[in-house]
């Protein structure tokens, strides 16, 4: 199977590989696995207000999964968390020209974005409830 030029570009020069501080209140972490192949993707976002100011990923998986997560981090940087949630795997498939057998690799990236955002939202909700409790004391 031939990879598209865009997949090869992201595979050879992945953007935003690395990790953010998982313990930070501003960082949301999503870790997802693909049942089809056992590949695993970790995607992290750093949020200021409602804007994603940084994103990093680490993917143990195929070339398409690496390219999908690299592209996803590029797309979500500078977006609001709601805009990031609107990204879906079909956009990734189209951009990278993924063949049908590689569609699940793009689903992994969509799921990783959603998991990172929900982790961040859970942290923010927890912080907000701490502050409310503090105010009541």
Active site residues: 37, 105
Rounded to whole angstroms, the Cα distance separating 136 from 63 reads 52
- Taking the complex as a whole, the smallest distance from the CB of residue 16 to ligand FES amounts, in Å, to 18
Rounded to whole angstroms, the Cα distance separating 30 from 76 reads 14
Selected from 5, 18, 21, 37, the binder of ligand FES by CB under 6 A is: 37
Residue 60 lies near ligand FES (rule: CB under 6 A)? no
Residue 62 lies near ligand FES (rule: CB under 6 A)? yes
Residues 75-104 that bind ligand FES (CB under 6 A): 102, 104
Rounded to whole angstroms, the Cα distance separating 38 from 62 reads 10
Instruction: Give whichever of 5 and 36 is closer to ligand FES, judged by the CB atom.
Output: 36
Helix (H) or strand (E) holding 30: strand 27-33
Sign of torsion, CA 95 97 110 39? negative
Q: Which residues bind ligand FES (CB under 6 A)?
A: 34, 36-37, 39, 61-62, 64-65, 102, 104-105, 108
């Amino acid at each position: 199977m031939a990879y598209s030029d865009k997949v090869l570009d992201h595979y050879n020069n992945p953007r935003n590989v690395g990790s953010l501080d998982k313990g930070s209140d501003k960082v949301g972490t999503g870790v997802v696995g693909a049942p089809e192949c056992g590949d695993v993707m970790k995607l992290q976002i750093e949020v200021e207000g409602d804007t994603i100011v940084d994103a990093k990923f680490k993917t143990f998986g195929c070339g398409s999964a690496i390219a999908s997560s690299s592209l996803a981090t590029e797309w979500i940087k500078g977006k609001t968390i709601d805009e990031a949630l609107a990204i879906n795997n079909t956009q990734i498939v189209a951009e990278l020209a993924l063949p049908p057998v590689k569609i699940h690799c793009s689903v992994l990236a969509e799921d990783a974005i959603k998991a990172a955002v929900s982790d961040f939202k859970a942290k923010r909700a927890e912080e907000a409830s701490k502050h409310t409790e503090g105010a009541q004391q």
